[in-house]
Amino acid sequence: MSGRCRAHLPSRPTWRCHACGNAWPCGAAKVKLLAEYGRDRISLLIYLATLQEESAEQLAELGYPVRPSTLHHRFIGWVPIRSSPDRR
């Protein structure tokens, strides 16, 4: 895999980024997710909530229980509610 960039995907069961080692979703993963889902914030939030639950179970099994509020902030709290500020 020399010369190729690694994708910013979660490494289970630790939930660190394969590419950069930061807590997933890392900054690069967030940018990619927003681009992939575009204006479909509901689907993005459902996807992230599913992964949040999966991570909670796996981290607890590893002996690293994480507070639900911490996981919420990490997985869901960063997603903008509106895709554009055109509210009038």
Burial of 25 (C-beta count, 10 Å sphere; 0-12/13-18/19+) = buried
- Looking at the structure of the chain, the number of domains it has is 1
For residue 68, the enclosing domain spans 10-75
Per-residue pLDDT tens digits for 50-66: 999 999 999 999 999 89
pLDDT above 90 (res 87): no
Does some domain include residue 35?
Answer: yes
2 pLDDT tier (thresholds 50, 70, 90)? very low
Q: With a cut of 60, say whether residue 15 has pLDDT above it.
A: yes
Domain assignment present for 61: yes
- In a 3-state reduction of DSSP, which class is residue 23? strand
**2 in a structural domain:** no
Do 26 and 8 contact (CB within 8 A), yes or no?
yes
Residue type, 80: P
Q: By CB neighbour count within 10 A (0-12 exposed, 13-18 middle, 19+ buried), where does 34 fall?
A: middle
Above 80 in pLDDT, residue 88? no
